[in-house]
Amino acid sequence: MGIDNQPGYMKWLPPATTATIARCEFFGRTMKNGFISGKHRSPKKGFSVEFAEHRQYVPGDDLRNLDWKVLARKDRLYIRQYEEETNLRATILLDCSGSMAYAGESAAMFAGRRLSKFDYARYLAAGLSYMLAGQQDAVGLVLFDSRIRQYLPAKSQASQVRRILEFMDSAKCGGDTAPAPVFDEIAERIPSRGLVVIISDLFDPDTDALLKALHHFNYRKHEIVVLHTMAEEELHFNFDGHMHFSDLESDARLMLDAKAIRAGYLEQVNMFLKKIGDGVRKMNADYVPINTKTPFENVLTEYLSRRRSGG
């Protein structure tokens, strides 16, 4: 199939990205659970012959692994788990709240247009999904705003990247921002420990609740990577004069003197960034601040290179 005849969802995985990602690798740092033999060698519960334990069924589990004897005896759904060394199990959490629709005048250009934070995040998610799948790792996707919009459980099937791209391509920004309760729910729904990649501007009315929710992933023994995605204008407020400011998550619209509020705004933003960054690092998690004026391929390669070198 020629490039001109490719499905629309393939735009999130341009040839330049696949060429760049092909030279990169992602190695998990903690124990991983999955069901395909991969490069992340550690004891896990997979699907070999040695039974390990039961755990309660969660939506997305393969029904073929239900223990029907337990169902008949207790009238409850349980999954049988087995011991095996296996691959990384990654879930990408992609913020599609209204605030992610912001692009700004300084955002990176791609395919002739300025990228919104959401489009930028979709390119990041597509590149990571492609790389992980190429390593035979299981990868899944969650689209969220103040609630879960789509949940695609992690799988290592050959068709999984296509499904992730289709989900992202059909998604629209909208809804209020409230990631904390979503993170709590997802931490319980992901069936086994693995990698959780969060791509979001992390706007939450309660930063303490947000950090507590991130700790929930830590408590469940997931490895956390936070790709904190914000626009140049949000980070540095390079506006001047009297301007209209619109809330992308409501109908609110204000006329403000940008110069008069700049100092106060930057103080609040810098406090927010420091609190999030310090809180994430205390969990021994990766915190990657991103400015969408930087090309997304550069962000991916620099982060993966730094991670590989132990930085």
**Could you tell me the domains of the chain?**
3-30+87-308 (3.40.50.410), 43-85 (no CATH)
Q: Are 140 and 93 in contact (CB under 8 A)?
A: no
Compute the distance between CA of residue 272 and CA of residue 53 in angstroms, rounded to an integer: 42
Cβ atoms of residues 217 and 192 within 8 Å: no
This prediction's pTM: 0.81
CA count, 13 A, side-chain hemisphere, 235: 19
Q: Single out the residue of 97, 100, 92 nearest to residue 116, CA to CA.
A: 100
φ/ψ of residue 88, rounded to 5 = -70, 145
Extract the tokens encoding 176: 């209020």
Query: What DSSP character marks residue 141?
Result: E
Is residue 300 within 8 A of residue 227, CB to CB? The reply is no
Residue by residue, pLDDT tens for the chain (311 residues) are 444 567 899 999 999 889 888 778 887 765 444 433 345 444 444 444 444 456 677 776 677 777 777 777 777 777 765 544 347 899 999 999 999 999 989 999 998 899 999 999 999 999 999 999 988 899 999 999 999 999 999 998 889 999 999 999 999 998 888 899 999 999 999 988 899 999 999 999 899 999 999 999 999 999 999 999 999 999 999 888 887 777 766 777 788 777 888 999 999 999 999 999 999 999 999 999 999 999 999 999 999 988 887 76
Tokens of 38: 């991969």
Is 84 in contact with 45 (CB distance < 8 Å)?
yes
Query: In the chain, what is the straight-line distance between the N-terminal and C-terminal CA atoms, in Å?
Result: 40
What is the model's pLDDT at position 249? 65
